[in-house]
Amino acid sequence: MKLFVWDLHGVLEQGNDRVAIDISNEVLKRFGHRERFTYRDGATLYGRKWYEYFEWLLPDASRDYCVSLQDASFDLSERDVEFQRRWLAPAMHAWDVLAAISLAHSQVLISNTRPANLEMFVKMLGLEQFFIPDKTALAVDGHGPEGGRTKQDTLRDYLSQGPGAGYSEIVVIGDSPSDMMLTEVAGV
């Protein structure tokens, strides 16, 4: 049996790039800033840590201040899901592909988002049939400037535990260099 290791944003979903911009702009407004992101900025910045968006837009702001804007953005995204409802959707054919794979293989989702956000995303995208928060939908919360836990650490832990052990092959599906680094853990 194979294990398919999925990334979420930009792979199994579409629209989160616009969600991030709308939330960021609302936070900027609430903090009294005139500057705003465009959706084109979002396409350019997508994949970076959220505080790095603010560092890009507000080059004179301190890292700590940009992290506080990031924290406010996460808080808003967890409290007001209307931002996600506006743009977030499953990627084309994601559900069909996941369903076909699930007939013969195992799957795990590893995302850099916060646990509360990942659970919301899985439900909103209708993926709970395939991924269970804290079991097969694993959040890394990789948004802090200090680094910390990585997707590689998370996959290594998953593979060392009972349900994650003993696969004939591990297939990694992602859209970033950090996703592809999972192949090192998988031995691919």
Residue 188 has pLDDT above 60, yes or no: no
Do 72 and 82 lie in a common domain? yes
Do 43 and 122 lie in a common domain? no
Write the CATH number for 167: 3.40.50.1000
139 and 114 in contact (C-beta within 8 Å)?
yes
Given pLDDT bands bounded at 50, 70 and 90, which one contains residue 8? very high
> Using one digit for the tens of pLDDT, what is the confidence trace for 135-151?
888 888 755 556 677 88
* Domain assignment of residue 54, given as a range: 16-87
CA-wise closest residue to 6 among 85, 88, 103, 118: 118
Do 94 and 75 lie in a common domain? no
In what helix (H) or strand (E) does residue 57 lie, and over which residues does it extend? helix 50-57
What is the number of structural domains in the chain?
Answer: 2
CA-wise closest residue to 186 among 169, 166, 164: 169
Q: Which of 36, 66, 87 is the last residue of a domain?
A: 87
